[in-house]
Structure 1
């Protein structure tokens, strides 16, 4: 990957081939560090949800309580995120992205040291807030930096590379974790020590990423907010930005798309693990099967990002979110039609989930990246992440209840309906804007001469 100069900023070439225009002052080493962080960001954040079913089994928690426990942990997680993510976004506008980004990985690493030491569910509740602060840092900074670095002409493609690396990272990190469980088990460790060793390996990876980010990301606060304003004044910028209906739609899109991500990362693997154990698989075998399908879902998400990004670059961003949410709804609402979720038919289901998840994520962040004002962009992205946290919290609470009390595919039906709502809102906004353009055109043209 390389960079060449231009009159307004550098041109970064992915694998020496695909040109991406950059903002002034952004260098190749900054982008390389960002993409390195993007590779590990979502993979290491989803790790805790993908692997927690294994911990539930080690703690002796009945399967009928898994959904509720997972939902409560997610609720604690997102309450902390809600309390911190906006302030972290505005803080990054003041002290710089790399400090907050590296802090996030450090906090997640600390949690991964403590989490598998739990001997009761209450201990998980105590460790989860540490993870939540780190997750808030990582999610807010990833969204901010991938909007800070590219020029508008390359924004969706730049973001697509990050999302592709997210998807590859999710597959690699969680796939490697599955291999670690098998490897540690073959060394003669019991299930408790296997869980601890796997989490501690993830903790070490977090610390390595934190060091890379603090050294190689672009230093300092973003130029557009180099004149540091008060936190509450910047907060007002983010809320006032919602007067633009496109920004408001992006906030709603974050609510739904982050809920999608939570359902996939928390309940998909939990559902598959539960069914595997009911069908007689061992704890490690059921976990391996669950991780396999989760990895397949992310493997399909990666090429789908490459398909969606050029489309989003060439069409109206609201039209893009409408298309993406429609496709995501189709994927999630198909889940009830897979009665045996660990059969080979679920490879198709995993593909649909992966493509739906990527559609929702990429379209929402592309829309906010386009519509967010230059000054206070970090605050607007922070509020975007705040709405995302609300979506995750709602998906955890209501999804967990549906998982335990209705059907294991209930959370997928719930988020599929959410995708339909955003799809409908996007169509209504497009219709409203079209009518306004026609009215303005008629006003400019004036009445016909007699």
Structure 2
């Protein structure tokens, strides 16, 4: 999570300071980078899940880290490489961001699949909570600690932490991860069986809808909050490195609240059920996002109230949909179903981030948050209705 979060956090600063992207184009360009990577991720994420079913999770994770690390080594020098190749620094940045994203696409879903392989219905929520805790801890570490480094060591040296983390991740995965589920013999992707499963179970469709609406939340918070801080700094005469540090501190606080909330959500899921936790998380995050409409200056203390609601709600939407999806996925198809789950989440990310970028430029920095909050509350209403007509998953589903 450190690797994926760092590029998201440093991207607005790098584009502004090194590549000279203006305030007028900041929202669209930053959103376009994210959307382009997500579109290409959509083309392979389901296939990566199927490859993990066929060849094993560990092999896919290791090579994903290696590919992402190589691209991360080039990203800080996009301007120099672009000048050498004669194609411009922004084009090189776009290309390397794509490769980094493709590498991480091979990693994250497989880690969730490994957790699902090692768990049963009874202990799945606690184990998924622990995995989510470590992911949130990585994100918190980035914003609370690593985002303070550009002020002291410079932007480029800070960015070089990313490839180091990726290569360490590859070594750790190769050394310590174990494939538990036997590889499937069928190498064709199980499209028909997967679609039949999704069509037959409304609870699984709810998990997919939640992924569509809320998977983008962490990306949206990191991208547009950092944009807001960096570009509002020009209005108040603050340096960009200082602005990035202030923005990182707030996002770090959000990550800390997520960390504290995750064990509570693990208990909540066990006590009240998967769908109830999903609905509660969507409600809290939706209220937090919509409340950002009342924020004018991101450096004012008033921003902390909606930020806390977003954080607590995000912790729930981080765990409950994945637990619900794994519960309802047959082990031989688990990688494929999780790939489809993340594909739907990627489509949602494209939808909310792309529109959010335009709303950021045309209406104001708060607009992407309000738009996402409305989406979360709409899915929450569907979850509440479904809880009245469907039973919670049970062992053996």
Tell me whether the two structures share a fold, i.e. TM-score over 0.5: yes
Deviates more, 1:383-392 or 1:120-129: 120-129
Check whether the contact 1:76–1:128 (CA below 8 A) recurs between aligned residues.
no
Q: Structure 1 residue 423: deviation in Å?
A: 0.6
Which one has more relative contact order, counting CA pairs under 8 Å at least 6 apart? 2
Aligned 1:8-407 pairs, distance under 5 A? 42-58=1-17, 59-119=19-79, 120-184=89-153, 194-219=154-179, 222-223=181-182, 226-232=183-189, 234-242=190-198, 243-407=200-364
Q: Structure 1 residue 178: deviation in Å?
A: 1.9
User: Using the alignment, how far apart are the partners of 1:145 and 1:277 within structure 2?
Assistant: 45
1:65-103 CA-to-partner distances (Å, cap 9, x unmatched) read 111001110111111110110000000011111111122
What are structure 1's unaligned runs of at least 5 residues? 1-41, 185-193, 435-450
1:321-370 CA-to-partner distances (Å, cap 9, x unmatched) read 11221111111111111222112232333322222221221121121122
1:356-400 CA-to-partner distances (Å, cap 9, x unmatched) read 221221121121122222331111111001111111111221010
Question: Radius of gyration: which is bigger?
Answer: 1
1:154-213 CA-to-partner distances (Å, cap 9, x unmatched) read 1111111111111111111333322321221xxxxxxxxx32211112211210111011
What are structure 2's unaligned runs of at least 5 residues? 80-88, 392-397
TM-score by structure 2 length? 0.92
Q: What residue in structure 2 maps to residue 447 of structure 1? A: none
Root-mean-square deviation over aligned CA pairs: 1.6
SS at match of 2:241: helix
User: Using the alignment, how far apart are the partners of 1:71 and 1:178 within structure 2?
Assistant: 20
1:123-180 CA-to-partner distances (Å, cap 9, x unmatched) read 2222122012112112211221221111211111111111111111111133332232
Check whether the contact 1:297–1:352 (CA below 8 A) recurs between aligned residues.
no
Check whether the contact 2:42–2:343 (CA below 8 A) recurs between aligned residues.
yes
User: Using the alignment, how far apart are the partners of 2:128 and 2:175 within structure 1?
Assistant: 22
Check whether the contact 2:28–2:361 (CA below 8 A) recurs between aligned residues.
yes
Give runs of ≥4 in structure 1 deviating > 6 Å: none
Give the count of matched residue pairs: 380
Q: What residue in structure 1 maps to residue 85 of structure 2? A: none
SS at match of 1:222: coil
